[in-house]
Structure 1
Amino acid sequence: MNHNFQQQKVMLNGLSFNLVCAGEEKAPLVILLHGFPECWLTWKDQIQPLVDAGYRVIAPDQRGYNLTDKPKSLDDYRIDVLATDVEAIREYAGCDTFHLVGHDWGAAVAWWYGIHYSNKLRSLTVINVPHPITFTKTLKTSMRQLLKSWYMFFFQLPKLPEALMTLRNFKQLQKGLIHSANTGTFDNELLSQLLTAWKQPGAITGMLNWYRAAFRRPIRASNLSVTCPTRILWGEKDIALSKEMAQLSTQYCEDVELTYYPDGTHWLTHDHPKRVATEIIRFCDAH
């Protein structure tokens, strides 16, 4: 870990969260939300550039992941509950407004936070996950996307996903990352660090419970527009999410920019670490 990063264990929403923090306390705040199956390491190459650009960064291990607590009830993984974790981090940081960036499930939480807490956001950046309405509609109308999302349905099964994912030292989980990424994106060092996170007690079930809660504890809302400045970054080689959903997501945003990465995969922060850092900084600087 970079010597400028600090890990803090903080009680938020009744759970112990592991927060990776960097930067000056009085600097503008950027919260970085990782997704499945990573942890704060999603942002290992973006934290220091953000700090060097004058920002304060908090990158949590989200609930169910790595060194953060892993509640057992599916109700504790509903998207509205996950968004309250972000609000709790903002309150802990003592900032009225901040910049929010999310990837994968972190982007899904970021969308939800942007919808319901837009007045708290100076900017919203989402990476390779569509607006929730876009995803729901596309899943219902596109057989291609339905087939791409097969794993979400598999994750609904009890115990079997955990058994297969942990088999032979998490071999299938490692293969899934390597085969869905550009060559060399997940090197041995990063995989070793992720392996340590996956081996935390209850971590695999905690990670899967995000998917299970999404299917079994769906949340309805009438107004799902995002009013804060929004930036969508999208790797076109994502094998799980169709790139058409990026453009479709823009209709739910009042102020939006969309940037495609033709040679980027789902793992954009690792594929193009410097460019992604530059894009995030530029957008934050503008707002």
Structure 2
Amino acid sequence: MTELEFQLVRTNGITLHVVSAGPRDGPLVVLLHGFPEFWYGWRHQIKPLAEAGYRVLVPDQRGFNKSQKPESIDQYTLDVLRDDIVGLIKVYNREKAHVIGHDWGGAVAWHLASTRPEYVKSLIPINIPHPAIMPKAMLTLPLQWLRSSYMAFFQLPEWPEKLLSVDHYDGMARGIKFSASKSEAFKEEDLKKYKEAWAQPGAMTAMLNWYRAIRSGIPEGFASPEKVQVPTQIIWGVDDPFLSKKLAKKSIEHCENGRLTFVGEATHWVNHEQPHIVNQIIAQTLKEEEGIR
């Protein structure tokens, strides 16, 4: 049975709640969740990775669940979020890590690999495009603008928090459950844990501040014509209701050494809906980068 360790770790001026598993001397894998999840969103991936011999770190990213929640919006820019993970890698006395990110966690992973590649052994973004793609897509793909219109609503002060918290977050829970391709992807006991995380003091505003920090623009590093040099494996659920497949195809153009795998019968929540397939892709990618045959 895989034993989970729970720690409070100081990094980049804040304290993150971090779940870890696997042999302490194993190759380091960092799993980064997105909105509106927390470490538990990787529950299907932690055990297989740990049992395969990897040291797995799964932080609640800043603002989420039990991690610290700075009040200022400028504390949630991609540069700051990236530096949280750089600090985490250093705290665990490693030079590099395999970095896997879903949704917003994938945006952080992309930014880390793009601007601090010396810390990344391989990159696996899941249903998240390279951050430089989104501004162009919003202008050139009208359907994508509609799909992403919720992001504009999240810019409003206070109202999103009030709406999302109605009936103890039942609307948010239903939104996740029914946007998934498989009804069993999120069980009631899972959603109960999510609600507990969302109800942490200050959590909802902090989570939304990830979107509000977009106002600061795309970081300078993404304006560079240079491609991501880190070996990259993009995983994409084909029926994502929020993000077009075109974004995945455009993202691979930003990779010097990249692959793109579409997963059928899956949406934005592909790591929940098709965990076996996602875990196989991850395992093969990591084996190749570790030189294991």
In structure 1, the partner of 2:91 is 92
In structure 2, the partner of 1:22 is 21
Q: By how many angstroms is 1:217 displaced? A: 5.0
Q: By how many angstroms is 1:215 displaced? A: 2.4
CA distance in 2, matches of 1:62, 1:82: 8
For residue 132 of structure 2, give the secondary structure of its aligned residue in structure 1: helix
In structure 2, the partner of 1:231 is 233
Q: By how many angstroms is 1:179 displaced? A: 2.1
TM-score where L is the length of structure 1: 0.97
In structure 2, the partner of 1:256 is 258
Larger mean CA deviation between 38-47 and 113-122 belongs to 113-122
- Could you say what the CA RMSD is over the residues aligned between the two structures, in angstroms? 1.2
Amino acid aligned to 2:31: L
Moved over 2 A (4+): 215-222
Amino acid aligned to 1:174: A
Residues 141 and 217 of structure 1: CA distance in aligned 2, closer, same or farther (over 3 Å)? closer
CA distance in 2, matches of 1:53, 1:259: 22
For residue 45 of structure 1, give the secondary structure of its aligned residue in structure 2: helix
Are 2:9 and 1:7 aligned? no
Q: Contact 1:178/1:186 (CA < 8 Å) preserved in 2? A: yes
Report matched runs for 1:69-218 at 5 Å.
Answer: 69-182=68-181, 183-216=183-216, 218=218
Q: By how many angstroms is 1:220 displaced? A: 2.8
Q: How many residues matched?
A: 286
CA distance in 2, matches of 1:218, 1:160: 25
Report matched runs for 1:42-81 at 5 Å.
Answer: 42-81=41-80
Amino acid aligned to 2:112: Y
TM-score where L is the length of structure 2: 0.95
Q: Percent identity?
A: 41
Any idea what the Cα deviations from partners look like across 1:32-61, whole Å, max 9, x if unmatched? Answer: 000000000111010010011110000000
CA distance in 1, matches of 2:119, 2:16: 21
CA distance in 2, matches of 1:271, 1:88: 31
Q: Contact 2:240/2:267 (CA < 8 Å) preserved in 1? A: yes
CA distance in 1, matches of 2:54, 2:115: 24
Q: Contact 1:247/1:258 (CA < 8 Å) preserved in 2? A: yes
Q: Contact 1:75/1:217 (CA < 8 Å) preserved in 2? A: no
CA distance in 2, matches of 1:41, 1:184: 16
Q: Contact 2:127/2:235 (CA < 8 Å) preserved in 1? A: yes
Amino acid aligned to 2:205: T
Any idea what the Cα deviations from partners look like across 1:43-91, whole Å, max 9, x if unmatched? Answer: 1010010011110000000000000000001110000110001101100
CA distance in 1, matches of 2:197, 2:279: 24
Amino acid aligned to 2:87: A
Amino acid aligned to 1:105: W
Amino acid aligned to 1:53: A
Larger mean CA deviation between 200-209 and 112-121 belongs to 112-121
Amino acid aligned to 1:116: T
Q: By how many angstroms is 1:98 displaced? A: 1.3
In structure 2, the partner of 1:277 is 279
Q: By how many angstroms is 1:105 displaced? A: 0.2
CA distance in 2, matches of 1:176, 1:262: 21
Q: Contact 2:35/2:103 (CA < 8 Å) preserved in 1? A: yes
Residues 70 and 217 of structure 1: CA distance in aligned 2, closer, same or farther (over 3 Å)? farther
For residue 233 of structure 2, give the secondary structure of its aligned residue in structure 1: strand
For residue 209 of structure 2, give the secondary structure of its aligned residue in structure 1: helix
CA distance in 2, matches of 1:129, 1:181: 16
Amino acid aligned to 1:115: S
Larger mean CA deviation between 233-242 and 2-11 belongs to 2-11
Larger mean CA deviation between 131-140 and 196-205 belongs to 131-140
Q: Contact 1:74/1:217 (CA < 8 Å) preserved in 2? A: no
Unpaired runs of 5+ in structure 1?
Answer: none
Any idea what the Cα deviations from partners look like across 1:156-210, whole Å, max 9, x if unmatched? Answer: 0000000000011112211211221122211101101111100100000010000
Amino acid aligned to 2:196: T
Amino acid aligned to 2:230: C
CA distance in 1, matches of 2:44, 2:252: 27
For residue 125 of structure 2, give the secondary structure of its aligned residue in structure 1: strand
Amino acid aligned to 2:202: G
Q: By how many angstroms is 1:128 displaced? A: 0.2
